[in-house]
Structure formats: C-alpha cells, structure tokens
Structure 1
Amino acid sequence: MSAMLSQANVTMAAILNSTVSDDLLTTASTPTPMEEFQKSYGKVHGYVSNIVCIFGVLSNILNVIVLTRRHMITPTNCILTALAIADFLTMLTYLVYATYFYIATEPKWEANHSQGWMYFILVHNHFIITCHNMAMWFTVSLAVFRYIFVCHHVIGNRLCSLQRAVLTITIIVIATIIVCIPNYFLYKVVKLTEIVPVNVTGYWIVDSDFVKAHDFYKVLIFWFFGVIMKVAPCILLTLLSSMIILTMHQASKRRVRLLQQTRSSDHDVNHEHNRTTWMLVSVVLFFVITEMPQGILAMISGLNDHFFQEIYSNLGDVLDLLVLLNSAVNFILYCIMSQQFRDTFKNLFVLNWMCQRQQYGKVNGHQNGITQYTTVKTEVTML
C-alpha cells in the first residue's frame, strides 16, 4: 500500500509516487495498454486542460459578477457565489501547474526542475485539494438548502435564510482548512542527489520523514480523502437529488389537477421556481457524475494495489480533466436553465455595451448637429 493515492488530485500523487520509488532506476518493462494511453493523452493534457481552465476562470468570474448583483442576492445564490470562487481558485492554480508540468517541461524527475517550481507544485497540490473540498461541500450545502426549500416549504424560508447561508459557507471554509491539515505533512522537496544514485541536478518531491516513519499514515489519508470524502458526499447528493425530483414530480401532478383554478401569474412563478430547482439539481448531479467514478476507482485501489498501479494512476490526467470540467460547466448550466441569470447577464454586459455605443453615437450626433435618442434597460428584480 506504499503507493496509495492520498489526495483528491490524482495526477500529481501518481507522478510523485510512481517516479520516485525504490525501483526508480530499474529497467522499464513493456508498457501496458493503460500506460500507453496515459503516455499518449499526457502529451495533449496540458493543452486540453488549459483550454478548460481558461474558460472556467473567465466563466466563474462572470458567475460571481452576476450572482452578486443586488437583486440576485439570495441564500442559494450566496452558496453558488462561494462555489464559483472555489472553482475559480481551483482552476487558476491548475492552469499554472498544467502549463509548467505538461507544456513547458515534463512531469518527470529527469527534467531537472528547480527548487522554486517544486515548492510551487507542493503548495499547489495542497491548495487545490483544499479548494476542491470546499467546492464539494458547498455543493452538498446547496442540495441541502434546496431540499429543505422544496420538500419542507413551510419552514424553508425560515431555515434557509441569507444569514444561515453565510454561516454555512464560513463553517465549510474553516472546517475544510482544518480537515485538510493532515495532507500538509505528506511530502517534502529534496535534491535529486539525495534520492538518485547518479550525477543529476534539480529537485523533486518525495514522502516526508513523518510518512516514512509511520506507514499507516498515508493509507489512512488515502481512505479518508480518496474514498470517504468522495463517495459519502456523492451518495448524500444522490439521495437529496432523488427526493427533490420526487417531490417536484408529485407537486407537478397536483398542479396539473388544479391548473384551471390557478392564476396565470402563479403559474409563471411556479414555472420559474421549477426551472431554478432543475438547474440546481443539474449542478449537483453533474458533480456526482464527475466525482463518483474517482471514489469507486479509489475504493477498488484501496483493496487492490495492483489495480492502483495499472489502472488508477494511469487515469490520473483523465480524472483531473473531469474535475476541471465540473468546475467550468456551471456557467453554461446557469445560462441554459435560469431566465433570471440570463436577463441579468444581458443587462450587465450586452445591453450596457450597446448603451455605451449608443451614447457614443449620441455625442457624435450632437457634434454633427444631429439629435439621437437612446433608451436604457434597467435590471429587473425577479425574486
């Protein structure tokens, strides 16, 4: 179990554990199909992940701008804003990591990495694990808030207040930082001359002295972060989503029976409420789809070290890409499924830009003796 993965970020742990080991200089055997796949995809992973990260960084900035407008501030949008910030930070550091490790150089000890870059990789790994775990529990809290609001609507407005949303976010941030502290003792940066019996230069990352002295520590961290902290939230999110969908289905049936007695405005409000709920359920389910496979594969790896070496570690780049896609997709879901988000986005960026162009034309028109009239569309509150 010495090569067990200990982080949510698969790729770096697999790189560090597979390239700096007791058999570092042994003759390489014939590559397996999975190793061939990892080698082939590794050549393009940096470029693919950079495209996803650039889109994700920009889209999450837009998410924060739109969701923090005065008329958009609600308990749900407060959690979505925290989720966007966590996703933004995750993708920002991964962008630098992928550019250096997969484009500028290679994720191999032979590349003669500098001490500064190795410390950056180490800090990046801890930082991205912390941010991603925050995003995971923000998603769980989002599902809990929506479950209470949909399934227990009478007490939902009282329990899911803005103050409680802010308190929830604060608790998640503090608790995640504390829970992730054990990760910080896993690795250290050393000179290659200390671990490789050949004349080389550069630095690399290896297991810390504490890990070497306590064999159980790495296995414990792997099971906690690699399995429990992935599988348990995914199971919880699946159950909450199922109950929300079931409740909406039952409410839809009742609404159909009472449709003739329902006013049109009430119908429109219910329709927008349902679209919002489906959007949030989509955010949750997409998270489950991208995270659950990692938890299942990690669980199998915990029971079979050969499976980790042959399958799991070679899928590290792909699993990283799934995490990045999950961090970048929310903006698309908001635009597709939320009328209020689309309207606010258009008012902020499209219409304001058009108004500026019109105002510029108006000024020029006055200068040429021509009077032009413009209209300004203001933001509409849709609470």
Structure 2
Amino acid sequence: MTTMVLPTENTSLISLLNATLMEDNPMMASDTAMHTFYKNYGRVHGYVSNVVCIFGVVSNILNVIVLTRRHMITPTNCILTALAIADFLTMLTYLVYATYFYIAKEPKWEVDHSQGWMYFILVHNHFIITCHNMAMWFTVSLAVFRYIFVCHHVIGNRLCSLNRAILTISIIVIATTFVCIPNYFLYKVVTLKEMGVNLSGYWIVDSDIVKEHNFFKVSIFWFFGVIMKVAPCILLTLLSSMIILTMHQASKRRVRLLQQTRSSDHDVNHEHNRTTWMLVSVVLFFVITEMPQGILAMVSGLNDHFFYEYYSNLGDVMDLLVLLNSAVNFVLYCIMSQQFRDTFKNLFVVNWPCRSKNYGKVNGHQNGVTHYKTVTTEVTML
C-alpha cells in the first residue's frame, strides 16, 4: 500500500512518518521501546504543543509590538521583528494542525479525513517549512550583524545600518520562498480507494514526479533535512564563539581601564554587553534545538533501520523542540534586556490602563511618580 511520508527536513508533520508506516513493513518493529514511547507521548503531544503554540503566538505578538516602538527601531530589532513574525506564523498553523490531528482526530490513514483537511495539511506543511527556514536565516543574519559590530566595531555602524537590515530581510524572504518551491511538488491528495483501501476518506501520497524520479525526494531530504540544518548551526556556533571570545577580551581590557572610564560610559557598555549576550543566547538556543535534528536526519539518510526505529519515533519530540525555540525569545528578552523590559512595562503594566503616552525607557520612581528618559537608539542597543 502507498503510505504518506511527509518531509522530514522540518517541524511540520514529521510525526506522521511513524503513524503511516504499515504493519507489513519488515523494518518497522512496532513493539520496541521507541515505538512505545512514540505512542505514549502522542497521546499528550496535541495538548502540550497547543500550550506552547498559544504562548508562542501571544509572546511573538508582544515581541512585535515592543520592538516596533519608535525608540526601539534599530537594525538589530528590525531583524528580531522579522524573526518574531516568522515564528508567529510557524506556530499559528501548527496550532490548527495539532488540534485537528492530535485532539479532534488521529494522525492515521484509517481515520475518515476529509479532502479539505488533507489539503490544509499540505498547505500547512509547505507554509511552515518556508516560515521556519526564514526564521533560521533571520537568526543567521542576526549573528552576522552582531559579529560585525562586536568584532569589527570600526565599520560596524556603517555595515549594519537599518537599510541594510531591511534589505537583508527582503533577500531572505524572497530567496527562501524560491528555494522551498521544490517542496511544493512532493505530495498530492488522493482518496483511500485510489490507495487500494475500501474505506472512505482522503490521504496524502507521493506525487507523480516523486514516483517517476525517486532521487527528487531523496535530494530534498538531504538538502533541507541535513544541509539546511547542520550548515547554519555550524556557522552560528562559529560566529557565537568568536563573539564570546571578543567580548571576553574586551572585558579584560575594560577592567584594566575601569578607573579611567566615566560612569555613563560604563553603563552603556554594560547594556551593550547584556544585549550581545541576549542575542548570543537566542542563537545558541536555536543551535541546541536544530543541530540534533540535522544529525539524526543525516544518520537516517545513511541507515534505514535508524530512520524507522529512532528518527520517525522522535518526530513529535523534534516538533516540540522547534516550537519551544519559536516561543522562547520573549522570555530571553525579558530576562536579559533592561530596555525591552522597561518598554514592555510602560506599554502593558505601568499605570495600566491609563498608561503614559511616553514610550521611553523607565528611569526610576520617586514619590509614586514614574520618570522617563530618552532611549539611546544606536545599533548596539536592543
């Protein structure tokens, strides 16, 4: 029987790799510990992922609102805003997918799925792959911008301008959409009767192009599942390492010159360092969630048994890791950026609901009165 095996190079629908494997597949051992884990976790995955998605959707909306305030508009924040939008779109469609496939229905071909829902699954799959790849390259561009400023400060302000940030975002959106086009020709929706099953309903199978040219699907698997995950992670790790090393060396120099440094300059440098550490945290969290998937995909491409036994059974977990990565940035901003916290409090907490119209940075409180000061909008500031 023809089975549905959706793209394994990204978060969407990866768990269906296991759910649609037929019992007559000799490589599929249904009584293994990994398969038992898959079935047990699958019962709660819909609820867990929904909680993460709802938090991520709301938090990324808040990210966009805060980062687009006039005093917050910088090249770095421009990229972070694009990243928040990509993460928001990724989690928005996954929320619908998880609700349907893990709560309302089951991710199995035997269930009577309608044609409309199957087409939604296809569109969702293509959409989420495109959005997540955009988020990946937004993260890479963020690391590149910060590397240039920290490690090449003399030319940093010129190279990392707001116009260049907008241009970078535009190039990533257009290039990613173009590169992801081959994914759109992988699958098609058919009736179960066309699959040789005497049941009503619809499912997703390989397209005619894939059936005629199997290398087409294999090449896409290696390109998106391995290269497009492992290569950016290696690049991000190298950039982060160089940034951390440069900051460590600068910190040593600053300690020696601290006696000669003005207090205000010290405060600005401290905030710049906090901003850099926050951006490095965003990058490294991305690497932690993406690199294991790339490594597992690479091994799976070389060993069919590993694919069926481990990779397919960990699909839901890998989905959850990517969802967590898409939702965690708001928490990192709040923990590590004073300016983000102050702007957020001014918008949503301070004097609510009659908050001040001044969206500047909170400077302090005196006699119950909140005081504000103008916020620096240099490229180094979040």
Encode CA deviations 1:307-331: one digit per residue, 9 max, x unaligned. Answer: 0011000000000000000000000
1:305 to partner: Cα distance = 1.0
Deviation at 1:382, TM superposition (A): 3.2
Post-superposition shift, 1:196? Answer: 2.9
CA distance in 1, matches of 2:209, 2:18: 16
* Paired residue secondary structure (2:274): helix
Any residues of structure 2 matched to 1:108-257 within 5 Å, and which? 108-197=108-197, 199-257=198-256
When residues 43 and 168 of structure 1 are mapped into structure 2, their CA distance, relative to the original with a 3 A threshold, is same
8 Å contact from structure 2 (residues 118, 202) kept in 1: yes
The match for 1:96 is 96
Per-residue CA deviations over 1:122-169 (Å, capped at 9, x if unaligned) read 100000000000000000000000000000000000000000000000
How far is the alpha carbon of 1:6 from its aligned partner?
3.4
Matched, 1:107 2:101: no
TM norm structure 1 = 0.91
In structure 2, the CA distance between the partners of 1:288 and 1:323, relative to structure 1 (3 Å rule), is same
8 Å CA contact 1:78–1:162 kept in 2: the answer is yes
**Cα distance change, pair 344–277 in 1 and its aligned pair in 2 (3 A):** same
Query: Residue 285 of structure 2 aligns to which amino acid in structure 1?
Result: F
Distance 1:233 1:265 in 2: 37
Q: Label 1:295 to 1:313 Cα distance change in 2 as closer, same or farther (>3 A).
A: same
**2:279 alignment partner in structure 1:** 280
Aligned residue in 1 for 2:376: 382
Indicate conservation of the 8 Å contact 1:340/1:382, yes or no: no
SS across alignment from 2:204 = strand
Which digits, 9 at most, give the CA deviation of each residue in 1:259-293, with x for residues without a partner? Answer: 10111111001000000000000000000000000
Aligned partner of 1:370 in structure 2 is none
Q: Work out the percentage of aligned pairs sharing the same amino acid.
A: 81
Q: How many residues align structurally?
A: 365
Structure 1 residues 289 and 115, CA, compared in 2 at 3 Å: closer, same or farther?
same
Looking at secondary structure, tell me which structure has more helix per residue: 1
Q: Which residue of 1 aligns with 2:362?
A: none
Cα distance change on mapping 1:59 and 1:20 into 2, 3 Å: same
Tell me whether 1:334 sits opposite 2:333 in the alignment.
yes
CA–CA distance in structure 2, aligned partners of residues 147 and 230 of structure 1 = 20
Conserved? CA contact 1:11–1:313, under 8 Å: no
Find the aligned partners of 1:309 and 1:196 in 2 and give their Cα distance.
Answer: 24
Q: Please tell me whether the aligned partners of residues 60 and 87 of structure 1 are also in contact (alpha carbons under 8 angstroms).
A: yes
- C-alpha displacement at 1:380, in angstroms? 3.9
Contact 2:4 2:204 in 1 (8 A): no
Residues 115/20 of structure 1: CA separation in 2 closer, same or farther (3 Å cut)? farther
Q: Structure 1: which amino acid aligns with 2:142?
A: L
- Between the aligned partners of 1:196 and 1:97, the Cα distance in structure 2 is 26
Structure 2: where are the runs of 5+ without partners? 357-366, 378-382
- Partner of 1:274, secondary structure, is helix
* Matching residue's letter, 1:15: L
Question: Whole-Å Cα distance in 2 between the matches of residues 29 and 319 of structure 1?
Answer: 21
Offset of residue 355 of structure 1 = 3.0
Closer, same or farther in 2 for the Cα pair 1:140/1:65, shift >3 Å? same
Q: Which residue of 2 is the match for residue 6 of structure 1?
A: 7
2: CA distance between counterparts of 1:380 and 1:109? 59
